[in-house]
Amino acid sequence: SREEGEQRVLIDWVGFGSIISLIFMQQSGEKIWIFMAELLFAGYLMNMIKRTPEKLEKVIYSFALFSAILALVTQPFVELPSLFRTELYLLFLILLAAGMQKIIWKTKVPLIYICTVISIVIQSAECLYREILFKDGLWDLLFLALVLLALLILSFWLQSKKWFGLSGISLVTIAVYCTRDFWKSISWWIYLMAAGILLIVIAVVKEYQKRNVDQEHSKFYQIKEYWEEWK
């Protein structure tokens, strides 16, 4: 006989067995069946909620979300434009990160920010690759610049330091890259002179800041206070 308080563990073998059909659907090679398998797998995982230990629920939700987004990526109904295919895939990656961070795990780990940085790096690398080999990376770069500009405006409105910095630095990098022929044409001594002027300006600004930063009506004080309000 079982000891008092001992719990029985029941395994739904029929439920686990249904995964076999999903595996065959996934291996069929047909886009429609692959899509259905991924969608059904997400539904299968959601069906396991409340039937598994509570500590595993977030893991199951995570895999279900991943499977659902994967189904969106592989769906056969709408042909994704090849020009923006990478961008859409990266958007799905950011959506996955958003769901994981904000809804499922509710963690302070900046998954959205990390995935956005990764997406920008991947997209920039693809633009550079296409520009070098095929000379047609301009549209990808323009699309990325527009997205970053929207992100810059949004981050300014939300007063987010890290997003403002990320989008601002990325936009400047794109601008420098797009005008690289102009920068290459400038003589080296002009860069040297510009660096010297910049150092002088920085020294003057720092000295002025030391004298005026604590005065409430000074511009530096107002800028400092405004920046410190940002998150």
Please give the DSSP secondary-structure letter assigned to residue 81.
Answer: P
**CA angle 49–53–54, rounded 5-degree value:** 75
Please give the DSSP secondary-structure letter assigned to residue 3.
Answer: P
Q: What is the mean pLDDT of residues 7-25?
A: 70
| Cβ neighbours for 66, distance < 8 A, ≥ 6 positions apart | 96
The residue that leads in pLDDT, 2 or 229, is: 229
pLDDT of 7 reads 56
% pLDDT > 90, the chain: 5
The residue that leads in pLDDT, 183 or 212, is: 183
Q: Are 144 and 124 within 8 A, CB to CB?
A: yes
DSSP for 121-170 reads HHHHHHHHHHHHHTS--HHHHHHHHHHHHHHHHHHHHHT-HHHHHHHHHH
pLDDT digits (tens, 9 = 90+) for 193-223: 988 898 998 888 777 766 665 555 666 666 6
User: pTM higher than 0.85 for the full model?
Assistant: no
pLDDT of 12 reads 63
pLDDT of 170 reads 87
Alpha-helix residue ranges (DSSP H) falling in the chain: 13-26, 31-47, 57-74, 85-98, 111-133, 138-158, 161-178, 180-185, 188-212, 219-228
CA atoms within 13 A on the CB side of 56: 9
Q: Hey, what amino acid is at 3?
A: E
pLDDT digits (tens, 9 = 90+) for 22-73: 888 888 888 889 899 889 999 888 888 877 777 888 898 999 999 999 998 8
Q: Are 107 and 101 within 8 A, CB to CB?
A: yes
Q: What is the mean pLDDT of residues 171-188?
A: 83
SS3 230: coil
The residue that leads in pLDDT, 134 or 54, is: 54
Q: Where are the domains of the chain?
A: 7-78, 82-185, 188-231
